[in-house]
Amino acid sequence: MSSKRLIFNFTESELIVFLEENGFPKYMYKQLIKWIYTKYELNPYKFSDISKVNREKLKEIFSFQLPKIVKISIDPEDETKKYLLKVGKHEIETVLIKEKDHYTQCISTQVGCPLRCKFCITGTMGLKRNLSAGEIVGQVMAVIKESDIKPRNLVYMGMGEPLLNYENVMRSIEIYTNRKGLDFAFRKITISTIGILDKLKGLIKKFPKVTIAISLNQIPEEREDLMPAEKKYPILKILKYFEENKYFRPTFEYVLIKNINSSEKHAHKLLRLLEKIRCKINLIPYNENKIFPYESVSEEELNKFINILYKGPNAITVRRSKGKNIQAACGQLAGEKDAE
């Protein structure tokens, strides 16, 4: 085991303290952040404005190791790129999605996921471990280094439940949004969660501009059948919170599965449930896969569902998942194999 500290784990304030403790000049944190996060230079010998002695010392103290790219799959239809990355002995996935005028990267927060939603492949793995902040940040850095593309948007919708890895996710947001470094806009970062109220409150308090997407997915009385974690983290508490805190406008995600949650009855209940909340509704036709027997909805069913929701006050969008041909779409991330 190397005792080196992974550089991508440090927030700016942590880096300042750590450098000082190790006898480096005070101003050096700025140089370091600039080399790493704006020039994407990870070889300390190339940090030309830092003295040779200090460059040597940096190399001794810090690890600059990114998650290793094991495999890249590209969807020929929409150019979605799925990266299989190695973190320690485990493998995780991140996806780079091409939009009209920008790129979005979908990142993972855990190896596997403990929630075991009945329709999601990642859930079948169970939780192997949390990713460190450095491993979360490393996903974007690895993609930038490989593709020369810096995404504009980041969505925490890959493997894992972000709010069950709260500390590291919070730290990663701080690192991603550092103005001197990667400089992502808060509003272009979306955290997708099943909804864990105390953590959600903390997230909103610290980062009020970050976008929050709640995976609602089913009306409350039937949600536990689809998402066993509903028992522990009831959705009604989340809905009540947003009803009472109208200054914040979350997105509610609703994956549409044929014969499960897509009937007109469901649409009417969903309409009533959300009409008192200021929110956006994001409908996601289910991405079919070989693991589960669930089927997606037809265009006709989708339109019927939308037309009912249109009677309410909230904006509705439909997410047409990309990367389906390479198992890179929502709920399809599981790693190719798992080196236990």
Q: Residues interacting with ligand SAH, by CB under 6 A?
A: 119-120, 157, 161, 192-194, 215, 217, 253, 255, 284, 286-287, 330-331
Q: Classify strands 153-156 and 189-193 as parallel, antiparallel or unpaired.
A: parallel
- The answer to whether the CB of 50 falls within 8 A of the CB of 63 is no
Q: How far is the CB of 243 from ligand SAH (least distance, A)?
A: 20
Residue 7 or 157 with smaller CB distance to ligand SAH: 157
Residue 94 or 287 with smaller CB distance to ligand SAH: 287
Residue 210 or 330 with smaller CB distance to ligand SAH: 330
Residue 28 or 85 with smaller CB distance to ligand SAH: 85
- The answer to whether the CB of 233 falls within 8 A of the CB of 196 is yes
Distance, CA of 96 to CA of 153 (rounded, Å): 10
Instruction: Please return the burial class of 263, using the count of CB atoms within 10 Å of its CB with bins 0-12, 13-18 and 19+.
Output: middle
Instruction: Please return the burial class of 267, using the count of CB atoms within 10 Å of its CB with bins 0-12, 13-18 and 19+.
Output: buried
Instruction: Name the 3-class secondary structure at 145.
Output: helix
DSSP code string of 99-113: -SSSEEEE--SEEE-
Residue 15 or 127 with smaller CB distance to ligand SAH: 127
Q: How far is the CB of 331 from ligand SAH (least distance, A)?
A: 2
Phi first, then psi: what are they for 236, rounded to 5°?
-60, -35
Q: Which of 119, 63, 90, 97 is nearest to 258 (CA)?
A: 119
Phi first, then psi: what are they for 105, rounded to 5°?
-115, 130
Q: How far is the CB of 90 from ligand SAH (least distance, A)?
A: 17
323's tokens: 């990367």
Residue 78 or 161 with smaller CB distance to ligand SAH: 161
Which residue is catalytic, options 106, 117, 279, 330? 330
Distance, CA of 272 to CA of 277 (rounded, Å): 10
Decide if 93 is catalytic: yes
Radius of gyration of the CA atoms of the chain, in A = 21
Instruction: Name the 3-class secondary structure at 68.
Output: strand
Q: How far is the CB of 99 from ligand SAH (least distance, A)?
A: 17
Phi first, then psi: what are they for 121, rounded to 5°?
-65, -40
Which residue is catalytic, options 91, 93, 161, 301? 93
Q: How far is the CB of 282 from ligand SAH (least distance, A)?
A: 8
Decide if 117 is catalytic: no
Residue 28 or 170 with smaller CB distance to ligand SAH: 170
Phi first, then psi: what are they for 205, rounded to 5°?
-65, -45
Distance, CA of 32 to CA of 47 (rounded, Å): 8
Q: Which residue is nearest to ligand SAH (CB)?
A: 331
| b/e per residue 215-250 (b: at least 16 CB within 10 A) | bbbbbeeebeebbebbeebbbeebbebbeeeeeeeb
Residues designated as active site? 93, 330
